[in-house]
């Protein structure tokens, strides 16, 4: 296992670093990577699919342990729905394996490419966060290697569990996990589209459906102002009774072309041509108006894959943000303060002329993980284009938004973060930070595991 120098970047492509990548295919290979790092005086950064938006899976000159070769399905209990998989198995691997038996991952991200190890390290949530919480709440156990090479099976009842899950790959090396899958009646969902004319209607629709829908998500037009500020399109979805045929992989696969004509692989080039403020303002407006005219209030059937993995519709869509890349600013705010905070955030980005090209609103519930983002409230995710000219202003805006979130007792999500500063992190986590650091010291006494994110935010000492 020879390390190879590679250029690694975050999903948002705003930061990159050269690191010495190794691709283990066994526990022993991972131990060898630990020995290599120690012998060369390097630190280790863990990397799944590189789907964290910022700098969570990069670190200059470190040994980057990537898990793409450790992706075997280890066991499957089709009666109880427990799937054991290696850390490099992806969300896509999970559903493809289990869906024909009538099971679906309990929590999925907006794309099927993240690895299980990465998803647990970041404790991902999905569009059902208000019902199912985060992925960490659906694990039977995880196997974790400490920095001395010892493997520990950690279960939800073990105190270390709440530090490792959501621990951003900094406490121990997640090797394997057993996931409690969710039984689904079919491979389809009933999806209701509702147009909201402003922030007030957005939150009203969420309140109306949060006790009975299985999934809830809303798109927000971040260019709309005044009485239209916060307008958007909400999708509520319910598991649907349907034929067994809907569980087949053929039924679920996304098409490769748009309208049977345009290959999706070239679509990002069109998006790139449109990826500027004026065009995005027009596109957001058109999307809202189209949503109000077509489909508003109507229920339709959609496959689980089509509804869940919206980000996978257009392959490599993020390249439309090249050369500067983009950041996703996502904050999680208690429900009482969310309308005020999100309204202020959107007004702020409009005042600065830095409108997000995409805004997504979701409902959440609290969880007990030390670095987790769960909150009895809402999250708003905002995609900001970054250019050499606006970079400083975008970061400064994010810092102003942090103030709004912290004042309201809100939280942040390390998988998305690019802008948090040590002072923000300390205010966000409070005493949880010290508790988490104690677990890190226990599993990683030599401080081998690191990342650019960990050093930037002061999660660990550089």
Partner 1 sequence: MRTYERAIVVGASSGLGRAIAARLAASGCRVAAVARRLERLESLASEAPPGRILALRHDVRRLDDVPEAFDAACRALEGLDLVVYSAGFMPPVGPTEFDTPKDRQIVEVNFLGAVAWLNLAADRFLQTRRGAIVGIGSVAGDRGRKGQPVYNASKAALHAYLEALRNRLHGKGVTVATFKPGPMRTEMTAHLRLSRAMDPDSAARIVLSKAHVSGEHYLCLSHRLVFAVLRNTPSWIFRRLPV
Least Å from the CB of residue 59 to partner 1: 9
2 CB burial (10 A radius; 0-12, 13-18, 19+): exposed
Residue with Cβ nearer partner 1 (61 or 101): 61
Least Å from the CB of residue 5 to partner 1: 4
Least Å from the CB of residue 63 to partner 1: 12
Torsion sign over Cα 339, 341, 345, 350: positive
Least Å from the CB of residue 40 to partner 1: 9
Residue with Cβ nearer partner 1 (12 or 166): 12
Per the CB < 8 A criterion, the answer to whether 310 and 217 are in contact is no
CA dist., res. 94 & res. 455, Å (int): 32
Residue with Cβ nearer partner 1 (7 or 155): 7
Beta-strand relationship, 232-239 and 215-220: antiparallel
Torsion sign over Cα 448, 449, 452, 458: negative
Least Å from the CB of residue 104 to partner 1: 39
Q: Measure the CA angle with vertex 143, ends 27 and 416; round to 5°.
A: 100
Cα dihedral 215→221→225→231 (10° resolution) = -30
Least Å from the CB of residue 16 to partner 1: 9
Residue with Cβ nearer partner 1 (37 or 306): 37
Per the CB < 8 A criterion, the answer to whether 63 and 20 are in contact is yes
CA dist., res. 338 & res. 356, Å (int): 18
Beta-strand relationship, 139-145 and 103-104: unpaired
Residue with Cβ nearer partner 1 (4 or 265): 4
Least Å from the CB of residue 257 to partner 1: 31
Residue with Cβ nearer partner 1 (59 or 440): 59
Residue with Cβ nearer partner 1 (28 or 40): 40
Residues that bind partner 1 (CB under 8 A): 4-7, 17-18, 60-61
The closest of 246, 264, 248, 244 to 256, measured between CA atoms, is 264
């Amino acid at each position: 296992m020879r390390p190879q120098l590679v250029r690694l970047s975050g999903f948002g492509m705003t930061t990159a670093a050269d690191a010495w990548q190794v691709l283990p295919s066994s526990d022993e290979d991972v131990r060898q990577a630990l020995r290599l790092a120690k012998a060369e005086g390097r630190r280790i950064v863990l990397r799944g699919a590189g789907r964290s938006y910022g700098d969570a899976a990069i670190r200059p000159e470190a040994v980057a342990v990537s898990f793409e070769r450790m992706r075997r399905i280890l066991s499957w209990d089709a009666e109880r729905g427990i799937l054991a998989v290696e850390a490099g198995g992806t969300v896509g691997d999970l559903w493809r394996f289990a869906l024909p038996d009538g099971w679906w991952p309990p929590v999925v991200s907006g794309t099927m490419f993240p690895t299980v190890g990465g998803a647990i390290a970041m404790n991902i949530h999905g569009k059902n966060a208000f019902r199912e919480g985060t992925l960490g709440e659906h694990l039977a156990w995880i196997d974790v290697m400490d920095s001395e090479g010892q493997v520990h099976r950690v279960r939800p009842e073990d105190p270390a569990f709440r530090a490792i899950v959501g621990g951003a790959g900094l406490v121990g090396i997640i090797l394997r996990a057993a996931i409690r899958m969710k039984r689904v009646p079919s491979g389809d969902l009933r999806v209701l589209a509702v147009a909201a004319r402003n922030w007030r209607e957005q939150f009203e629709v969420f309140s109306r459906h949060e006790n009975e829908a299985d999934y809830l998500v809303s798109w927000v037009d971040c260019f709309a102002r005044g009485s239209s500020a916060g307008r958007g399109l909400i999708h509520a979805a319910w598991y649907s009774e349907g034929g067994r045929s809907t569980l087949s992989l053929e039924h679920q696969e996304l098409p490769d072309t748009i309208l049977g004509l345009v290959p999706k692989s070239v679509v990002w080039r069109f998006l790139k041509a449109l990826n500027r403020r004026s065009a995005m303002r027009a596109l957001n407006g058109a999307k809202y108006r189209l949503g109000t005219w077509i489909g508003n209030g109507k229920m339709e059937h959609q496959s689980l894959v089509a509804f869940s993995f919206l980000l996978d519709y257009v392959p490599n869509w993020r390249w439309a943000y090249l050369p500067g890349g983009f950041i996703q600013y996502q904050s999680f705010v208690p429900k009482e303060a969310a309308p005020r905070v999100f309204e202020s955030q959107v007004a702020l980005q409009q005042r600065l002329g830095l409108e997000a090209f995409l805004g997504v609103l979701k409902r959440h519930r609290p969880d007990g993980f030390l670095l987790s983002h769960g909150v009895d409230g809402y999250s708003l995710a905002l995609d900001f284009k970054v250019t050499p000219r606006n970079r400083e202003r975008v970061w400064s805006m994010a810092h102003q938004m942090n103030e709004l979130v912290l004042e309201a007792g809100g939280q942040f999500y390390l998988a998305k973060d690019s802008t948090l500063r040590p002072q923000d992190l300390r205010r966000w986590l409070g005493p949880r930070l010290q508790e988490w650091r104690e677990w890190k010291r226990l599993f990683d006494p030599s401080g081998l595991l690191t990342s650019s994110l960990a050093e930037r935010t002061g999660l660990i000492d550089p």
